[in-house]
Amino acid sequence: MNSTTNLPLWAYPLLFAAGFGAGLVDSIAGGGGIISLPVLLNLGIPPQLALGTNKFQSSFGSVAASWHYVRRGLVGLRACRLGILLTLAGALLGAYAVQHVSSHVLEKIIPVLLAATVIYLVFQPQIGLEDRPARLATNFFYTIFGLGLGFYDGFFGPGTGSFWAIAFVLLCGYNLTRATAHTKVMNATSNLASLALFAAAGLVHLGAGLAMAAGQVLGARLGAGLVVRRGSRFVRPAFLVMAALTIVRLLWVNLAGRP
């Protein structure tokens, strides 16, 4: 852990609020990093330390939301254990690879893929509202997407939740409520795998991470409760909005060079 970057006292309530907001939206539709990472960077925390701290705090939120979804019966951990194991392996490989390979190509491609996802869902308004027959066998699905999206989350990250959710909807036939619940379990897995490598390298600001983690847990618990109570018709517009905002942020980073 690392706490060498000193922060003023007023930054900690801000970090708590950012963690709460990130946990809330992330547990509903993904994309919480849009809130949390810029806050860390704009407080003057160096980029690698900010990335590690962001993984630290987001891990608390994703685990809290996952636990709530499991308790409410939306996810069976035994049924998706292969996905958890392969996502863990993919995320570790991705987190290792990012230290040796440039992510510039992904920065250009991912906004296009996310835009295609948003457009598809806008013009298919019934997709994700109800369960449908699966198009892929479960083990084959987890082999492809566990390794692939686990690697992507460890390597780059933005939009991972959106890609998991649309994959669960289109290929497993889940409604968006179930897809969101399963997505959060996979996100928690890849977050924890990446965090292990960041922590081993001393790239976590413990003070900032704990302040945001406290907000994350509260926000994630509230957001997961809303998903369970409101269902897919609530998740769908939130998912579309957060995917669109992720596109905007990635384009902003690419074109303006801003965090």
Q: Are the beta carbons of 230 and 224 closer than 8 angstroms? A: no
- pLDDT of the residue at 16: 97
| Residuewise pLDDT in 10s, the chain (259 residues) | 655 568 889 999 999 999 999 999 888 877 788 888 888 988 888 888 888 898 899 999 999 999 999 998 899 898 899 999 999 999 999 888 766 666 566 666 667 767 776 676 666 666 656 778 888 999 999 999 999 999 988 877 777 888 898 899 989 999 888 999 999 999 999 999 989 988 888 889 999 999 999 999 999 999 889 888 887 777 777 777 877 887 777 777 666 655 5
- pLDDT of the residue at 211: 96
Nearest partner of 219 among 16, 34, 11, judged by Cα? 16
> Rounded to an integer, what distance in angstroms lies between the CA atom of residue 71 and that of residue 229?
14
- pLDDT of the residue at 258: 54
> Rounded to an integer, what distance in angstroms lies between the CA atom of residue 73 and that of residue 161?
20
- pLDDT of the residue at 28: 84
Residues in Cβ contact with 169 at an 8 Å cutoff, skipping those fewer than 6 apart: 127, 128, 175, 176, 179
- pLDDT of the residue at 163: 86
- pLDDT of the residue at 257: 58
- pLDDT of the residue at 128: 58
> Rounded to an integer, what distance in angstroms lies between the CA atom of residue 95 and that of residue 133?
34
Its pTM stands at: 0.84
- pLDDT of the residue at 212: 96
Residues in Cβ contact with 29 at an 8 Å cutoff, skipping those fewer than 6 apart: 161, 165, 180, 235, 238, 239, 241, 242, 243
The pair of three-digit structure tokens given for residue 245, joined into one six-digit string: 């905002």
Nearest partner of 195 among 176, 223, 168, 216, judged by Cα? 216
The SS3 of residue 174 is coil
> Rounded to an integer, what distance in angstroms lies between the CA atom of residue 259 and that of residue 11?
18
Q: Which residue type occupies 256?
A: A
Query: Which residue shows structure tokens 């990335």?
Result: 51
In the chain, where the domains are located: 11-256
Annotate 119-151 with three-state secondary structure. Answer: HHHHCCCCCCCCCCCCCCCHHHHHHHHHHHHHH
